[in-house]
Structure 1
Amino acid sequence: MEDKELMALWKTYDQKLEENLVLNRRNTEDITRIKIKSLLGSMKPIKIFTIITGILWVVFVDTLIVATFHFASPFFLISAGIQALITKLAIGIYLYQMVLIYQTDISEPLLATQERIARLQSSTIWITRFLFLQFPVWTTFYIGESLLKNGGVIWYVIQSIVTLAFTFVAVWFFVNIKYENRNKNWFRLIFNGKEWDPVMKAMGMLREIEGYR
């Protein structure tokens, strides 16, 4: 009789222990989900500021293009147009990211959260890649007819070298900025702070939740 009672007590204890472990896992998972939402929420201020600044800049550049369209240098109009177009594209991606952040729900399935954070990560990389494509136009917007006629050989050589160098840098970064290079020093130098760190931390926490399961 004592053996049976002992076995029953052991089973009861084992069952309670299992229930406590399950409850602890759920609590830990819920707390981690709250932390993930908080991390993503910390990205809102910088993104809102960037969107507002970008919109103001695009309005300024577009106004400048319209106001000077009939007499400005083609170099200026094309350079400003390309810069404004890339900025508009970046603003669109930032708005898309804001939608992803606001859609994040701590009660949603884990797979949905993983997919949303993966989109945030991917779009952050794409924004940076596109913004680097602006580099060459900052070396050509000031070129006018007078400069082309009177610049001389030395100016042509220097201008060509600078523009080609900026173009090479822009293309190199556009090609090489990808998740596979995240551990390289130059990548970490570009991607740090509120635009990138919360996403990486959230990804790490999601992996922890998977480990709990």
Structure 2
Amino acid sequence: MNELELKKLWQTAQGKLDTNLAISTQNTAAITHIKVAHFLSSMKPVKLFTILVGVVWVGLLGTVVVYLFLYAFPKTNLFFLFSATVQVILSAIALITYSYQLITIYQVDISGPILETQKKIAHLKSTTLWVTRLLFLQLPVWTTFYWNDSMLDNGSWLLWFLQGSITLACTYLSIWLFININFENRDKKWFRFIFNGNDWTPLLKSMELLEQIDAFQNDNKPQQSNLS
């Protein structure tokens, strides 16, 4: 076998190897995309349920707040009105965010470029963290909506000590969570306790799969032969 025949044989073998590698990469990518689509689809029922509950909650509480502002303000308990207003505003922002997330999930094209899918999932991750931080800011007003003038005038020191301690503790906790809920703390126990369900786990699994297939494709790109 002369040198020319050896080169042709090498080039033929290299071509078959590149073809098989390309097919293997395509199959792996297709399977990964199917898995990612399954994980994202599992989030849809949770998002839909949350949106429906949010619409009812914001609608009912918002109606009460508007009525009190417009028609019963002089006789309204200001503690309740303040607490309810804060809840309506934060809940409405959360409702808009969940709606945006659901639209994003439906817009994910698993047959498209991996980079685009990664960007959409990154947006879902960041908005999930952001809306959770925002909702925890509601904690203090859950401890103030039932305050009234009678409690201020007739309440004992013990009552106000207990009430003040609860409100301050909830305020501190809400601020601490708002500051510390970020992706860097995802391995901590308290973070995993909060983010443990179909609103978060599918995102992490999808991110891991896309990172793996991206690395696999980069590591297995056909290499041009040095033999000429």
What range is the shorter-chain TM-score in? Answer: over 0.9
How far apart, CA to CA, are the structure 1 residues paired with 2:119 and 2:11? Answer: 41
Note the C-alpha offset of 1:65.
2.5
Alpha-carbon distance in 1 for matches of 2:8, 2:161 = 91
Q: Which amino acid aligns with 2:101?
A: Q
* 2:22 match: secondary structure: helix
| TM-score, normalising length: structure 2 | 0.88
> How far is 1:157 from its partner?
1.6
Deviates more, 1:27-36 or 1:174-183: 27-36
Deviation at 1:90, TM superposition (A): 0.6
Alpha-carbon displacement from aligned partner over 1:12-39 (angstroms, at most 9, x marks no partner): 2332122011111011112211211221
Deviations 1:100-121 (A, max 9, x none): 1111002222221111110000
Q: Is 1:80 aligned to 2:84, yes or no?
A: yes
List alignment gaps of at least 5 residues for structure 2.
Answer: 219-228
Q: Whole-Å Cα distance in 2 between the matches of residues 200 and 114 of structure 1?
A: 11
Alpha-carbon shift at residue 43 of structure 1 (Å):
0.4
Match of 2:48 in 1: 48
Other structure's SS at 1:193 match = coil
Match for residue 186 of structure 1? 190
Q: CA deviation at 1:9?
A: 4.1
Question: Structure 1: which 5+ residue stretches go unaligned?
Answer: none
Equivalences for residues 61-72 of structure 1 within 5 A: 61-69=61-69, 70=72, 71-72=75-76
Identity of aligned residues (%): 47
Which has the higher mean CA deviation after the structures are superposed, 10-19 or 41-50? 10-19
The count of corresponding residues between Structure 1 and Structure 2 is 213
Write the distance in 2 (CA, Å) between the matches of 1:151 and 1:12: 91
Partner of 1:166: 170
Q: Does 1:103 align with 2:95?
A: no
Could you list the per-position Cα deviations for residues 120-179 of structure 1 after superposition, in whole angstroms to 9, with x for gaps in the alignment? 000000111011100000110001111111112222222111111110000010000001
Indicate the structure whose relative CO is greater, using CA pairs within 8 Å and at least 6 residues apart. 2
- Asked if 1:18 is matched to 2:22, the reply is no
Counterpart in the other structure of 1:145: 149
Look up the SS of the partner of 1:22 in the other structure. helix
In the alignment, which of 156, 160, 171 is matched to residue 156 of structure 1? Answer: 160
The alignment partner of 2:177 has SS state of helix
The amino acid of 1:59's aligned partner reads: G
Instruction: Give distance in 2, aligned partners of 1:82 and 1:6.
Output: 78
